[in-house]
Chains A and B, each alone.
Chain A
Amino acid sequence: MKDLTDRLGTLFSLGDITEKRDDLAFVSVAPDLLRAVITHLRDVEGFTHLVLLTAVDWIEGGQFQLTYLVHNRTRARDIGLRVFIDREEATMAGIHDLWPTAATYQRELKEMFGIDFPGSPRIDEEFILEGWTDIPPYRRDFDTKKYAEETYFHRPGRETFDPATHMKDKLYPGEAS
C-alpha cells in the first residue's frame, strides 16, 4: 500500500497513515480535502467501490470520526479515509453524487449520530428509528439503559437482588451498617 500512500502524499496533504495489512491502509485527511482525495481514488487509482461509510463518537475530544472505506476490485485492496469533524457542528459535505449508495449511509449517520450532509437525498427522513424523540442513539452521551428503562416495560415477574444487600440478609442480618 506504500506505493499508493506515497503517490497520494505527493498530491495531497495527508494526516496519520496506518498500514493495517498489505491490502488495507487508513489515511487521515482534512474535511475539506475529502472529496478531492476520494474522487482521485475513484477515478485515477481504481477504487471504484464504496464499501462503507461509518462514524465514531470521540466524545472526550469533541469530535466525530467519519471513515470512508473504498475498494479497488482489480488490485483487491482497500483504503480507508478518516475525517475528523467538530462534534458540536456536525456537518460534512456529501459524496452521494460520486456514489448514489452513499446517500443511504449519510441518512443513517444523520439519524444515528446527528451528522448532517446538506443536500443528500431524503437526509431528513426517518431511516429506521420511527418516531424517535431522544438525542441520536449512537452518540455516546445517549443513556441507553435509562432510555430502555423509560421506554420498555419489564415482563411481569422479574425480580433482582443486590449482591451486597443479599449477603447482609444471609450472612449478618442483625448487624448495623
Chain B
Amino acid sequence: MTVQDVLSPFTAWKNLFRDPVTVRDPLTERPGAARYRGFHKNDVAECIGCGTCEAICQNAAIDMVPVDGIETKEGDSGLRPQIDYGRCCWCALCVDVCMTGSLTMSNEYTWIDSDPDAFRFVPGVDHKSWDDAELGYHRPDGHRLTPPERIVMREMDPERRIGNFEEIVDGYSVEEARAEAERCVACGLCVATCPAHMSIPDYIATIREGDYEAGLKLLYETNPFSQVCGRVCTHKCETVCAVHHEGDPIAIRWLKRHITDQVDRDRYVDIIGRPAGETGHKVAVVGAGPAGLTAAFDLARMGHAVTVFEARKHAGGMTRYGIPEYRLPYDALDADVDVIRAMGVDIKCDTPIGDKVTMTGLEKDFDTVLVAIGLHLGRSTRIPGSDHPKVAKAVDLLRAITDGETIDVPKTAVVIGGGNVAMDIARSLARLQKQIHGEVGMTVTALEDFSHFLADPEEVKESFEEGIEIFDARGPREVLVDEVGNVTGLKTWKVVSIFDDKGRFAPTYDEGDERIHVGTMVIEAIGQAADVALLGEALTEKLEWNRGRITVDADGRTSEPWLWAAGDCVNGPDVVHAVADGHRVAASMDAVLKAKELS
C-alpha cells in the first residue's frame, strides 16, 4: 500500500461544492418516446376481428372475444382482440400484421394496479386513459408483413383472343399460385360469405404445402362444380377478404382453379371417394345444372339412386348454355359432370319433361323429386318492333352457339342489356363477326350508367378491349325497321332515373337525347324466366307461388311433400348459390328419406 492509496479517497472531497450532473427528483413525468411500444389501442370500428394478431402473437397473449355492441356480419367476425399483459412482450408483431391498421400502440407504459386481471383487457372497448394518445408505435407506411399486391393473372391479348373461343385466362403456375397463397392469412372471414361455405383457408394452405390431392378433396367436399367455380364463380368471398382493406384481395377463385388444374383428372374420383352403400331410395332431379347436379352428387354419395332428366343435349345447364366457352371451356365442365356421373348419378339428356316423362309420372316412380330448371326463357322489352324475326333473345343465341348451330351472324348488331349475359352474347357474336366478316360490329346499350353497372368490371373492360361499343344509361325505345322490312337499328333515349321514389322499376328518359344505334339485328338480354310450363297445370295449381317463382322453405321444400325446388329458378342466377342450394336440398331430402325408413 502506498501513500497515494491512503490519500486518494479524500480527493473526492474537492467535488463537494460542484453542481451535480444528475437530474434532481424522482421525475414526475416520464413520457415514452414518440414511437414507444406501450399499451395497445384498437379502433374497433375499423377492426374486422380477423384474429391475425392472435395468430402471429408468439406469446399467446391475445384472445379473440365477442364484444357487446359489435355484430357478427359478413366480413366482420364480431370478435375483438383481448390482450393478456402478463404475456405480452410488446414486440408489436400484432400491430405490424394487422390487416386493417386498426391496432396500434400508445406510448403509455406506466400503470399500477393490485388486481392482476386488470392487465387483461380489450383495447378500444375497455376504455383506458391512453385511448386518445397520439404518440406511440404505429406500423410505418409501406411496412407490410404480407404483400398487398395480387400475383397478376396472365391473359390472352385482345388481338389474339377476338377471333376464337379459346379460354382467355391462363391460370397460375405452381410458383405463382404459391406466392399468391402465401399472401393469405387464413383468417377464414371468407367462409361465411361463400354460399357453399367452402373451406377456403384450408384449401389455400394445401397450395402452400404443395399437397394438391388434399386440396382437391377439400374442394369436392363442398363443391362438385369446383372446376366450373374456379373459372366463373362470382367470388363474393374476395369482397370480404381481410387483405382487401389495405391491398388486393387474395385471388381465391384462381387458386381454386389452380388446384383443379394440378390434379390429373383420372385421379379425381379416387381422391374424392366412392359413394356409400345403396339405401334403396329413388330420387328424380329435373335439370342437370349446378343445383340439380350438386344435389344429385350429394344424394348419390349418401347411397340413394339418382336419375337426372335433362331437356338439352348435354348436362351443365346455364354453365354450359349460358356461359361462353372462352370463359368456361367445355372440357372443364365435362370433367365436373364426369365426376358426378362416376358417383352413380344417371343423367338422361335429351329427355324433356312433357310428353314421355311427366311430373305426375316422376311423383309416382320416385320417392322424392327436385325441380332445378334454371332460367332459360329470355324476357322481352316489348318495345315496338321487338317481335321482328331479327330481334333475338340472348339466351337463345348463346344456346345455339353452344350446340354448334349455324346462326346468321350480322355485320352489325345491337344488344339491349347491361348484365353479364349481355356481355356474354356481345363478346360471343363479336368473335363470330371477326371470323366471318373480319371485323367486330357490336354495340351494347345498358339502362344503368357505368357507376351502377350490373356486369362485372372485368367483363366491361375486356369487352372494350375487344372493340365492342358500350353505351351506358340508354333506354331502348324502338327497333327500327326500313320500308322493306329489314331491321336497321335501335332507337334509345338517355336514362334520367331507373327507379321511382319507392324503389320500383319505373325508368324515366330525356326525350331530347335520342340516339340511333345501327345494326341489322337486335338482341335482348334483359333477364330470364323459368320455363315452368313443364310442371303441368294440375301441379302448377297445387303449388304455392311468389311473383312467378315457386315458394320454397329454407331447405328448398315446396308446398308439395314430395317436391323440392332449387337453383336459379327460385333464387335468381348465380352458380355458387345454386351449388349451395343443391347441398341444402340433398341434406333435407336425405333426412326425409331416413325418416321414412323409421316410420
CA distance A148 to B61 in the complex (A): 10
Give B69-87 interface residues, CB cut-off 8 Å to A: 72-74, 77-79, 84, 86-87
* Stretch of A108-116, A125-133, A155-163 on the interface side: A155-163
- CB of B72 within 8 A of CB of A170, answer yes
Known contacts A145-B58, A148-B58, A171-B192; A159 and B63 CB within 8 A of each other? yes
- CB of A175 within 8 A of CB of B197, answer yes
Q: Chain A's nearest CB lies how many Å from the CB of B99? A: 12
B63: chain A residues at CB < 8 Å are: 158-161
* Stretch of B183-191, B400-408, B506-514 on the interface side: B183-191
A171: chain B residues at CB < 8 Å are: 72-74, 192
Q: Chain B's nearest CB lies how many Å from the CB of A116? A: 26
A-B contact count (CB 8 A): 92
- CB of A167 within 8 A of CB of B189, answer yes
CA distance A90 to B191 in the complex (A): 46
Known contacts A145-B60, A163-B189, A175-B584; A157 and B117 CB within 8 A of each other? yes
A166 at the interface (CB under 8 A from B): yes
Among A148, A149, A162, A164, the residue within 8 A (CB) of B192 is A164
Q: Chain A's nearest CB lies how many Å from the CB of B594? A: 15
Map CB proximity to A onto B39-76 as digits: 1 under 8 Å, 0 otherwise: 00000000001110010011110111110000011100
Give A114-169 interface residues, CB cut-off 8 Å to B: 144-145, 148-149, 152, 154-155, 157-164, 166-168
- CB of A177 within 8 A of CB of B198, answer yes
Q: Chain B's nearest CB lies how many Å from the CB of A27? A: 27
Among A149, A157, A170, the residue within 8 A (CB) of B78 is A170
A157: chain B residues at CB < 8 Å are: 117
B199: chain A residues at CB < 8 Å are: 177
CA distance A171 to B49 in the complex (A): 15
Among A149, A158, A162, A170, the residue within 8 A (CB) of B188 is A162
A144: chain B residues at CB < 8 Å are: 58-59
- CB of B197 within 8 A of CB of A168, answer yes
CA distance A172 to B64 in the complex (A): 20
- CB of B78 within 8 A of CB of A166, answer yes
Known contacts A159-B65, A160-B63; A166 and B77 CB within 8 A of each other? yes
Known contacts A152-B87, A168-B191, A176-B587; A160 and B64 CB within 8 A of each other? yes
Q: Chain B's nearest CB lies how many Å from the CB of A176? A: 6
Among A148, A152, A155, A161, the residue within 8 A (CB) of B79 is A161
- CB of A164 within 8 A of CB of B191, answer yes
Known contacts A166-B72, A170-B78; A149 and B60 CB within 8 A of each other? yes
Among B59, B73, B188, the residue within 8 A (CB) of A164 is B188
CA distance A148 to B57 in the complex (A): 11
CA distance A168 to B188 in the complex (A): 10
Known contacts A145-B59, A166-B77, A166-B78; A161 and B64 CB within 8 A of each other? yes
Known contacts A155-B84, A161-B79; A177 and B222 CB within 8 A of each other? yes
B196 at the interface (CB under 8 A from A): yes
Give B180-233 interface residues, CB cut-off 8 Å to A: 187-189, 191-192, 196-199, 201, 221-222
B120 at the interface (CB under 8 A from A): yes
Among B60, B87, B192, B222, the residue within 8 A (CB) of A167 is B192
CA distance A145 to B57 in the complex (A): 8
Closest B residue to A177 by CB, please name it. B197
B116 at the interface (CB under 8 A from A): yes
Map CB proximity to A onto B77-102 as digits: 1 under 8 Å, 0 otherwise: 11100001011000000000000000
CA distance A175 to B116 in the complex (A): 41
Closest B residue to A156 by CB, please name it. B117
Give A41-91 interface residues, CB cut-off 8 Å to B: none
Map CB proximity to A onto B109-126 as digits: 1 under 8 Å, 0 otherwise: 000000011001000000
Closest A residue to B587 by CB, please name it. A176
- CB of A155 within 8 A of CB of B116, answer yes
- CB of B78 within 8 A of CB of A172, answer no
Q: Chain B's nearest CB lies how many Å from the CB of A177? A: 4
| Most chain B beta-carbon contacts within 10 A, residue among A157, A162, A176 | A176
CA distance A157 to B188 in the complex (A): 25
B301 at the interface (CB under 8 A from A): no
- CB of A166 within 8 A of CB of B54, answer no
- CB of B187 within 8 A of CB of A163, answer yes
Q: Chain B's nearest CB lies how many Å from the CB of A152? A: 7
Q: Chain B's nearest CB lies how many Å from the CB of A47? A: 27
B77: chain A residues at CB < 8 Å are: 161, 163-164, 166-167
A168: chain B residues at CB < 8 Å are: 191-192, 197
B583 at the interface (CB under 8 A from A): yes
Closest A residue to B77 by CB, please name it. A163
B65: chain A residues at CB < 8 Å are: 159-161
Q: Chain A's nearest CB lies how many Å from the CB of B186? A: 9
Among B60, B66, B583, B587, the residue within 8 A (CB) of A166 is B66
Closest B residue to A160 by CB, please name it. B63
- CB of A166 within 8 A of CB of B87, answer no
B222: chain A residues at CB < 8 Å are: 177
Q: Chain A's nearest CB lies how many Å from the CB of B68? A: 14
Q: Chain B's nearest CB lies how many Å from the CB of A158? A: 6
A160: chain B residues at CB < 8 Å are: 54, 62-65
- CB of A155 within 8 A of CB of B86, answer yes
CA distance A159 to B82 in the complex (A): 10
CA distance A167 to B79 in the complex (A): 9
Known contacts A172-B197, A175-B197; A167 and B72 CB within 8 A of each other? yes
Give A15-29 interface residues, CB cut-off 8 Å to B: none
Q: Chain B's nearest CB lies how many Å from the CB of A124? A: 27
B197: chain A residues at CB < 8 Å are: 168, 172, 175-177
Closest A residue to B62 by CB, please name it. A160
Q: Chain B's nearest CB lies how many Å from the CB of A137? A: 11
Q: Chain B's nearest CB lies how many Å from the CB of A129? A: 15
CA distance A144 to B60 in the complex (A): 10
B201: chain A residues at CB < 8 Å are: 164
Give B259-294 interface residues, CB cut-off 8 Å to A: none
For the complex of A and B, list the 3 residue pairs with the smallest distance between their C-beta atoms, beginning with the closest.
Answer: A164-B188, A163-B77, A160-B63
14 interchain pairs (CB within 8 A)? A154-B84, A161-B64, A162-B51, A162-B64, A163-B49, A163-B51, A164-B77, A166-B64, A166-B79, A167-B72, A167-B78, A168-B192, A171-B192, A176-B583
